[in-house]
Copies of this chain bind each other. A is one copy, B any other.
Amino acid sequence: MKIAFIGIGRMGAGMSRNLLKAGHELVVYNRNREKAEALTSSGARVANSPADAARDAEVVMTMVADDRALEEVVFSAQGIASALQPGSIHLSHSTISTVLARKLTTEHAQRKQGYLSVPAFGRPEAADSGQLVVVVAGPHEYVARCKPIFDVIGKETFVIGTEPVQANIAKLCGNFMIISMIESIGEAYATIRKAGIDPELFITTVNSLFSSPFMGMYGKLIAREEFSPARFVLQLGLKDVRLLLDAADDLASPMPLASLVHDNLLSALAQGQGELDWSSMTQVLARNAGLKTKT
């Protein structure tokens, strides 16, 4: 397929490479042009603007930092909304607000352009190896047309609903479940430590019940207080929890545990941990129990 890819960061680079390898025709755009040009050796063409990239594309994929960046990429004078052909489809991979997801749905529809929200779970390594967990929502027809793309970037694709915003909500709720597990580990560790028990031994014990490698991995990092380099930077994690709380507020769905982790992440931020891994939120819990922490 003729694909445009906007936003060649750590995630976008891996996704783009896999699309090229799979034989798709790729035009790429990045604000910092250098990162885009690194892909020319793999066969990508570099565009001068999002509009330029989108003009002849069947599908435009965007993977940018936040709402503001995506608004710029889509709605500015040289944005993709002005150039994308009717019938072509915009796939937004960024973790964005439900307000923006709804706006994109409406605005693209008015231009007879397709739109799908396609957030993904996974770290840059998973993007590199095409092992993302792809979450999609939007009209069946668009989902069907983009299936070849999902198969390239992910190991599994979940079609979560027919309204794009549903995928954004599912992604935010998924992230919420991760940070909730972190809160739970952090509180247990504070108590376990004060009782003189080794936290790694504890999590290994409990995980013989959960059998979750993911929990095992976080449990080990938290026990060892290894929060840098960050797997997921705390201030971005906090941003996602804010987006969830906004979405839940909009749906009139109270989420007290989401409020709790928000407050603890905010406390971590206030204490200078914004660039550490978001699991360093557990240091706040440890200090509140009177424990000394490394960071």
Contacts and interface: CB of A to CB of B under 8 A. Distances in A.
Interface of A: 121, 133, 135, 156, 158, 160-161, 163, 165-166, 169-170, 173-174, 176-178, 180-181, 183-185, 187-188, 190-192, 194-198, 201-202, 204-206, 208-215, 242, 244, 247-249, 251-260, 262-264, 266-267, 269-272, 284-285, 288-290
Contacts of A174: 188, 202, 205-206, 209
B170 A197 contact: yes
Contacts of A194: 251-253
Contacts of A208: 121, 133, 156, 158
Main secondary structure of the interface of A (DSSP, over half): helix
A206 B183 contact: no
A290 B262 contact: no
Nearest to A258: B187
A210 B212 contact: yes
B205 A135 contact: yes
Contact of A184 (B181, B198, B270, B272): B181
Given A177-B188, A254-B263, A255-B190, A158 B201 contact: yes
Quick one: copies of this chain in the complex? Answer: 4
Contacts of A211: 211-214
Contacts of A183: 180, 257
Nearest to A270: B290
Contact of A257 (B192, B255, B257, B267): B257
Q: Which of A163, A185, A248 has the most CB of B within 10 A?
A: A248
